[in-house]
Amino acid sequence: MTAPGAGRGAVLMWLCLAVLVLASCADDSDGKDSASSSEGPTGTPRQSPSGAAQGASFTVDGRELLLDCTGEGAPTMVLEVGEGAPRQALSGIGDAYRSQVRVCSYERASTDRNIVSDLHGLLEAAHVPGPYLLVGHSAGGLLVQAYAAAYPDETAGVVAINPVPAWQAWSTLAFNEMTSRERKDEAAYYGGANGESLDYRDISRLIAESPAPRTIPLHVLISTAAQCDSPKDICARTYPAYEQISRAVARRWGEGRFSEVEAPHEIPVADVQPAIDDVISRARQ
Q: What is the pLDDT of residues 140-194, one digit of tens each?
A: 999 999 999 999 999 999 999 999 999 999 999 999 999 999 999 999 999 999 9
pLDDT per position as a tens digit, 33-81: 333 333 333 333 444 434 444 578 999 988 889 999 999 999 999 999 9
pLDDT value at residue 109:
87
pLDDT per position as a tens digit, 5-42: 232 234 444 444 333 333 333 333 333 333 333 333 33
Out of 36-45, 60-69, 107-116, 128-137, least confident range? 36-45
Q: What pTM was computed for the model?
A: 0.84
pLDDT value at residue 54:
53
Average pLDDT over residues 130-138: 97
**Per-residue 3-state assignment (H helix, E strand, C coil) for the chain:** CCCCCCCCCCCCHHHHCCCCCCCCCCCCCCCCCCCCCCCHHHCCCEECCCCCEECEEEEECCEEEEEEEECCCCCEEEEECCCCCCHHHHHHHHHHHCCCCCEEEECCCCCCCHHHHHHHHHHHHCCCCCCEEEEEECHHHHHHHHHHHHCHHHEEEEEEECCCCCHHHHHHHHHHHCCHHHHHHHHHHHHCCCCCCCCHHHHHHHHHHCCCCCCCCEEEEEECHHHCCCCCCHHHHHHHHHHHHHHHHHHHCCCEEEEEECCCCCCCHHHHHHHHHHHHHHHCC
pLDDT value at residue 84:
93
